[in-house]
Amino acid sequence: MLKIGITGNIGGGKTTVSKIFEILQVPVFYADDAAKKVMVEDLILIDELKTAFGTEAYFNDGELNRKHIADIVFNNEIQLNKLNAIVHPAVFRAFDAWTATIKNAPYVMKEAALLFESSSYKMCDYSIMVTAPLELRIQRVMARNGLTREEIENRNARQFSEEKKAQLADYVIRNDDTELVIPQVLKLHRQFLDLANK
């Protein structure tokens, strides 16, 4: 079974593209959702977070104190890197466990904002970058999430540039209104089915 990573910068449309693959019966693992889950379920991770960020990292009911952690890592790259170094391996474990439950799928996908930054693309056979111009991405996110331009630019700056990701990726899907997305997805879907059957 092939493993395909899919990524893109904020507002690029990686989740939309992933949903199209799901319509084609491709199982998709959403790394950001998994990260939220493991932070309250993975006991190794919980211990590591408490050690790194204090017992206040969790409320008494076991829920994650997001504000406490956000206050520490916001605008502090060293602390943010420390958080990622703890969370990413737990998400890798969750992906492996999830993949083991999938039967009869020629390929699965891992949707992750930080596919390249976390090196999790190395766990995949191929990778896709979903790309769109910065201005279009900013407009999409402002409309969708109500974030300010500055907040979006700050988040975007914490990710690898689109150019760097496009160089690292095996395939690029353009989601910039110049090309229809569905035909691009269908073409890749056929290629992955062929590769999986080899």
DSSP calls for 32-86: HHHHHHHHHH-HHHHHHHHHHH-GGGB-TTS-B-HHHHHHHHTT-HHHHHHHHHH
CATH architecture of 1-27+105-193: 3-Layer(aba) Sandwich (3.40)
Q: What is the pLDDT of residues 133-175, one digit of tens each?
A: 999 999 999 998 888 898 888 888 888 999 999 999 999 999 9
CATH architecture of 37-101: 3-Layer(aba) Sandwich (3.40)
> Cβ neighbours of residue 94 under 8 Å, at least 6 residues apart?
29, 34, 37, 38, 42
172-184: buried (b, 16+ CB within 10 Å) or exposed (e) per residue?
bbbbeeeeebeeb
- What is the spatial distance between Cα 168 and Cα 170, in angstroms, rounded to a whole number? 7
Q: What is the pLDDT of residues 80-127, one digit of tens each?
A: 999 999 999 999 999 999 999 999 999 999 999 999 988 899 999 999
Per-residue confidence band for 74, with pLDDT thresholds at 50, 70 and 90? confident
Domain boundaries, the chain: 1-27+105-193, 37-101
Contact between residue 18 and residue 122 where contact means Cβ atoms under 8 Å apart? no
Identical fold, 1-27+105-193 and 37-101: yes
Q: What is the pTM of this model?
A: 0.89
